[in-house]
């Protein structure tokens, strides 16, 4: 009996040692990747000259298209964006010049790197910054957004640092938790933003920068679960909303209601999209009608 207990104790101890060693390897490996600097080519100046029209455009783009307030809070003072226990806690920083804010420490060039590339002033990749969407942003729209950020009233709100937990690190190292978008981007891809207008091309631009293709998939077929506990994204191709009218689409984005008057899950940022102009919504509608019909992929 004593021999059995001794062997069991050795086995349990060995298992614990292996687990601790594995956790140490995961932590060290993930930390090395988190601290790795991202090399980027120097960007051309955007020419962010303050002006009422530019600031107004930037505010509209940040609120209605980029939906910055959904992560950073309506006043852009930052908030706890994700609090998922062992997965980790993601903090969306304070984007103002108030106490705890980061804006004063960013030059315009550094803001361009953060928004388009998901890279902070220290050269390290930012967590969960949707730069894969914002990368396509035109110079004019990005200049407007930066000009607007420079005018946002200061908010005094301090936050702890983002913390990636042991489970989050393990999933990240296994390629199952894409929390560092800068690692998965082509930072040298060409940008050819179209002229604003009620066109398929401009609708594609708005859908890309606005995150539609990120949440609903590159083919817009939906079925993507962004995080544990969130609903699968809807199919936005003609196979999913083929019976919708343009009026139905306006109602969905402006009021958060489907054609049958049932509510759309608030995880869909329709409250922000409701601020889009009529022409912007019509452009996105034209784009959605132009994509190939695809069935929603089945969950694995």
| Strand residues in the chain grouped as ranges (E) | 79-83, 88-92, 163-164
User: What is the distance, to the nearest Å, from the Cα of residue 161 to the centroid of all Cα atoms in its chain?
Assistant: 18
- The pair of structure tokens assigned to 64 is 């209605």
> 126: closest CA among 101, 90, 78?
90
CA distance 145 to 29: 36
The 10s digit of each residue's pLDDT in 246-297 is 999 999 999 999 999 999 988 899 999 999 999 999 999 999 999 999 999 8
Mean pLDDT, the chain, integer: 88
Torsion angles phi and psi, residue 101, rounded to 5: -85, 160
Using CA atoms, how far apart are residues 146 and 113, in angstroms rounded to an integer?
Answer: 12
**What is the per-residue pLDDT for 148?**
95
> What is the pLDDT, as a whole number, of residue 11?
46
What's the pLDDT at 183?
92
Residue 101 confidence (pLDDT): 97
Tell me the C-alpha distance between 234 and 247, whole Å. Answer: 18
Give the position of tokens 């894409």.
Answer: 178
First to last CA, the chain: 46
Helix (H, G, I), strand (E, B) or coil at 89: strand
The pLDDT score that the predictor gives to residue 291 is 96
Domains of the chain: residue spans and CATH: 52-184 (1.10.760), 200-290 (1.10.760)
Please tell me the total number of residues recorded for the chain in this structure: 300
Distance of CA 264 to the CA centre of its chain: 20
Looking at residue 299, its pLDDT comes to 61
pLDDT score recorded for residue 14: 46
Structure tokens at 247: 């009026």
Q: 61 with 277: CB under 8 angstroms?
A: no
Note the pLDDT of residue 5.
Answer: 44
If the chain, 300 residues long, is cut into consecutive pieces of 10 residues, what is the mean pLDDT of each piece? 46 48 73 86 68 91 96 96 90 97 94 96 94 95 95 96 92 90 92 95 97 91 76 92 95 96 91 96 97 84
Q: What is the DSSP letter of 298?
A: P
What's the pTM value of the predicted model, to 2 decimals? 0.87
């Amino acid at each position: 009996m004593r021999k059995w207990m001794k062997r069991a104790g050795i086995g349990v101890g060995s298992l614990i040692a292996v687990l601790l060693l594995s956790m140490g390897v995961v932590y060290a490996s993930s930390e090395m990747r988190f601290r790795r600097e991202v090399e980027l080519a120097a960007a051309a100046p955007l020419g962010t000259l303050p002006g009422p029209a530019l600031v107004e455009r930037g505010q509209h783009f940040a609120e209605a298209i980029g939906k910055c307030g959904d992560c950073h809070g309506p006043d852009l003072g930052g908030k706890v964006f994700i609090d998922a226990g062992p997965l980790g806690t993601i903090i969306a920083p304070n984007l103002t010049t108030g106490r705890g804010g980061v804006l004063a420490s960013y030059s315009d060039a550094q803001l361009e790197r953060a928004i388009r590339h998901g890279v902070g002033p220290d050269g390290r990749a930012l967590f969960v910054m949707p730069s894969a969407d914002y990368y396509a942003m035109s110079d004019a729209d990005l200049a407007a957004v930066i000009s607007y950020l420079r005018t946002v009233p200061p908010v005094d709100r301090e936050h702890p640092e983002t913390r990636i937990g042991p489970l989050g690190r393990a999933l990240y190292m296994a390629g199952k938790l894409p929390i560092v978008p800068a690692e998965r981007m082509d930072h040298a891809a060409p940008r050819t933003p179209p002229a604003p207008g009620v066109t398929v091309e401009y609708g594609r631009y708005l859908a890309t920068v606005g995150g539609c293709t990120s949440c609903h998939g590159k083919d817009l077929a939906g079925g993507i679960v962004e995080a544990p506990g969130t609903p699968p994204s809807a199919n936005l191709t003609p196979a999913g909303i083929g019976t919708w009218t343009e009026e139905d689409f306006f109602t969905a984005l402006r009021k958060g209601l489907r054609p049958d008057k049932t509510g759309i899950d608030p995880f869909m940022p329709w409250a922000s999209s409701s601020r889009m102009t009529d022409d912007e919504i019509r452009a996105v509608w034209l784009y959605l009608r132009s994509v190939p019909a695809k069935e929603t992929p089945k969950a694995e």
